[in-house]
Amino acid sequence: MPLTDAPPSAILVERLIAPRWDNWPAALIGFLVGMPLAVAVLPPIASFWLSAVLCAVLVATLIVNAWGRYTGGLLVTPALTLLFLMNIFPLLWSFGLSFFSYHANRARAPTWVGLDNYARILNDPDIWDRLHNTVILAVLTVSTQMIVGFLLAVLFSKRFPLRRYLLILVLTPMMLSFVAVGAFFRYYYDPTFGLLSQAVRLMTGEPYILMNSVWGARAGIVIADAWMWSPFVMLLVLAGLVSVPKYLYEAAAIDRVSAWRQFWSITFPYIRGLLLLALLFRTIEAFKLFDLPFLLTQGGPGTATETIAIKVFRVAFENNKTSDSTALAYILLFTVIVLTNLYLYFANQRAKETEAP
Amino acid sequence: MTESITPAASVSSATTPASTSIRSLVERLGLLPASGVSEAGWGRTLLAFIVSFIYFFPVLWIILTSFKTYNDALAVPAKFIFTPTLENFLGVFNRAYSAGGPIQNTGFTLYFFNSIFIASTSVLLALVLGTVAAFGFSRYPLKGNDTYLFMILSTRMLPAIVVIIPIFIVFRVTGLAGTYAGIIALYTAFNLPFTIWMMKSFFDELSPDVEDAARLDGSSDIRVFFKICLPQVYAGLAATAVFGLILTWNEFLFALLLSGVETRTVPVAMAQTIGGDMGVRWGLLAAIETLFLIPVIIVTFALQDQLLRGVTFGTIKK
């Protein structure tokens, strides 16, 4: 304990040499003095480990010091650091790169070109064509998923025996890997032994090649994607359907309200929010559509099913136009961020609604 | 990114512990086996059975195909009744590449090991970092807490292709490409947003009463976390871990670009066999898929009650 009548310098010294875990100035001095000394005197291995220990002590004292005052910050720092290193930093880096001309397979240093990459991309008819493809696929898959998912939810909204187990069968596709689903559907769409072709041959006598025409290939992707993700919509809608209080339907039955009116006035308000969330979530995913077309059609026939994500992949890793691809990626990123914002806004609205008693 | 975008979980103040709310969720969804009485009526029940069968048929057909011989798998018309064989499952790991040739290792032993090792290590790391961070976000809100949470979730919503271009170059420069360390670090970051949001939604549901009482009795923050909060969210922790495992197990694009020959995972190896030498050996491909899918199907079964929360990253709880 420092004495009250001791000179200030003595108190300072006493504080500095106190062997406590929150004594960070001492740890800092120890580190700053100890490390150069160790490097100068000791062999490299020993000096490395000594420096590491000193550094660890410094960090530990800083943490102990900040605990209590900055508990929240300390708890989230490790996770945020990793996210920064693996996600945010690369994104900022590639944002910078999108203003340079750079090819990953050439030794030439990046050269500043300003907005040229963006200007070139926005004037490139190919890019608009891929955007067009992406929008077509997104509209088709998301609308199919919403309709099928909604119907499935209605079908499963009432209790019946074994319902729990049948639900699992329907919910499984959403948990499967895109690669596995891609492989499934390649087998089913195969012109010779595929089940689809065989079924068509039963009727027409001719083998059927789905993936050869533009709309056939699109349909093939939409079917596979909708098969995979309709259960997602179903899960959300089902949560809304079972939350409708039964007495509302009983009251409606007494008043002899038509089924149509019952749906719009009673059921729909309970699932409206969830339908919107499902729509946004699936739209975000649809704009990122990569794996399924990549595995099913490789973007073909021609470029009819080449989505914007596949185009980014091709530009970056097949044409090695790294900086062009980062500029293109940022245009995709912007769309997704806007949609994510909307999603969270509505998810939040819903949370508030359900919290209210 | 304004204050109005409050993440769903942060406004939650439900007063039931996680286990009770899970039970009530099960009851609300009506997932418990019906008590003999069919609420739906026979017509709808029958329709539901048929639709479920049709829906599951693609998976079922692949599992059936994996037990077919080479000729049966290519039979036209397709064979529904056949003599099952295990040759495909054995062929996944060791087989002769040409008729009568030497039996060679296909590498799938390694690929399955890689998938399991990489997924479990990265999920474990993400769980440790993410649970601590989720507790921080839930109990010690920072200034701009919601902005941080929004940014964390948006890194997960980002198109993978946008993140992968710079990562690919950085990994190549630093020599991390093709190593376990590189891909595990990337997958840990990939799992973190999901883990943080899921675990935060579980922490938010805990009743603050016990915690406050413990604090009044002089328990430290660390003790409150380990002795009071963590034991109440074990179920949530397990669900989060399993979801993370599935996400990582299924991931394709990162693995395609960043795994080397030694660290290749099953999805990448599977994608390569689709167009490769097994292009027409559907029985073999089906066997690989079956082995790959079975853990996922089992887990889906176990996780049914947490599925809604899991697939929406904890943004929707009920």
Interface predicted TM-score of the whole assembly (ipTM), two decimals: 0.79
What is the distance between the alpha carbons of residues A270 and A239, in angstroms, rounded to a whole number? 9
Q: Could you report the per-residue pLDDT of B20-34, keeping only the tens digit for each?
A: 555 555 555 555 444
pTM, 2 dp:
0.81
Higher-confidence residue: A20 or B207?
B207
**Mean pLDDT throughout A78-83?**
88
B296 chain-A contacts, CB cut-off 8 A: 172, 175-177
| Average pLDDT value over all residues in chain B | 80
Q: Which residue has the tokens 């397990």?
A: B238
Min Cα separation B261/chain A (Å): 18
CA B197 to chain centre: 15
B154 → closest Cβ in A162, A185, A337: A337
Cβ atoms of A65 and A24 within 8 Å: the answer is: yes
Higher-confidence residue: A351 or A140?
A140
Q: Check if A217 contacts B (Cβ < 8 Å).
A: no
A340 → closest Cβ in B31, B73, B154: B154
pLDDT of residue A160: 80
What is the distance between the alpha carbons of residues B205 and B21, in angstroms, rounded to a whole number? 8
Angle between helices A125-155 and A268-287 (to 10 degrees): 150
Q: Could you report the per-residue pLDDT of A107-160, keeping only the tens digit for each?
A: 777 778 878 888 888 888 888 888 889 999 999 999 999 999 999 998 888 888
Name the residue ranges covered by the structural domains of chain A: 1-66, 120-355
B222 chain-A contacts, CB cut-off 8 A: none
A171 chain-B contacts, CB cut-off 8 A: 300, 304, 307
Cβ atoms of A243 and B28 within 8 Å: the answer is: yes
Q: Which residue has the tokens 């000394």?
A: A37
The secondary structure of A264-294 as a DSSP string is: IIIIHHHHHHHHHHHHHHHHHHHHT--HHHH
Higher-confidence residue: B316 or A142?
A142
CA A191 to chain centre: 35
| Residue B227 CB neighbours (<10 A) | 12
Min Cα separation B308/chain A (Å): 6
Min Cα separation A128/chain B (Å): 18
Q: Could you report the per-residue pLDDT of A291-346, keeping only the tens digit for each?
A: 888 888 887 788 888 888 898 888 888 888 888 888 888 888 888 888 888 888 88
| Residue A151 CB neighbours (<10 A) | 15
Q: Which residues, 6 or more positions from B208, have their beta carbon under 8 angstroms from its beta carbon?
A: none
Q: Which residue has the tokens 């087998």?
A: A187
Question: Does the pLDDT of residue A16 top 50, yes or no?
Answer: yes
B169 chain-A contacts, CB cut-off 8 A: 104, 322
B132 chain-A contacts, CB cut-off 8 A: 75-76, 78-79
User: Are B44 and A354 within 8 A, CB to CB?
Assistant: no
Min Cα separation A37/chain B (Å): 30
User: Are B1 and A235 within 8 A, CB to CB?
Assistant: no
A93 chain-B contacts, CB cut-off 8 A: 166, 170
- For A287, B2, B95, B146, the CA distances from A337, given in Å and listed in that order, are 11, 14, 48, 16
The number of helix segments (H) and strand segments (E) in chain A equals 17, 2
CA A69 to chain centre: 33
**Mean pLDDT throughout B213-238?**
87
**Mean pLDDT throughout B33-55?**
75
Cβ atoms of B146 and B227 within 8 Å: the answer is: no
Question: Does the pLDDT of residue A33 top 80, yes or no?
Answer: yes
**Mean pLDDT throughout A73-89?**
86
- Which numeric CATH code is attached to B108-274+295-311? 1.10.3720.10
A71 → closest Cβ in B150, B221, B253: B221
Min Cα separation A75/chain B (Å): 5
User: Are B285 and A187 within 8 A, CB to CB?
Assistant: yes
What is the distance between the alpha carbons of residues A313 and A296, in angstroms, rounded to a whole number? 16
The torsion defined by the Cα of B151, B157, B158 and B163, in degrees rounded to 10, comes to: 90
Higher-confidence residue: A345 or A15?
A345
Judged on CB neighbours under 10 Å (0-12, 13-18, 19+), B140 is middle
What is the distance between the alpha carbons of residues A97 and A113, in angstroms, rounded to a whole number? 10
Closest alpha carbon within chain B to A292: B252
A104 chain-B contacts, CB cut-off 8 A: 168-169, 172
In the CATH hierarchy, which fold is given to the domain comprising A120-355?
MetI-like fold (1.10.3720)
What is the distance between the alpha carbons of residues B67 and A354, in angstroms, rounded to a whole number? 49
User: Are A72 and B62 within 8 A, CB to CB?
Assistant: no
Tokens in use for B21?
Answer: 């709310």
Closest alpha carbon to B281 in B83, B69, B9, B17: B69
B55 → closest Cβ in A169, A312, A354: A169
Tell me if residue A25 falls in helix, strand or coil. Answer: helix
A85 chain-B contacts, CB cut-off 8 A: 185, 189
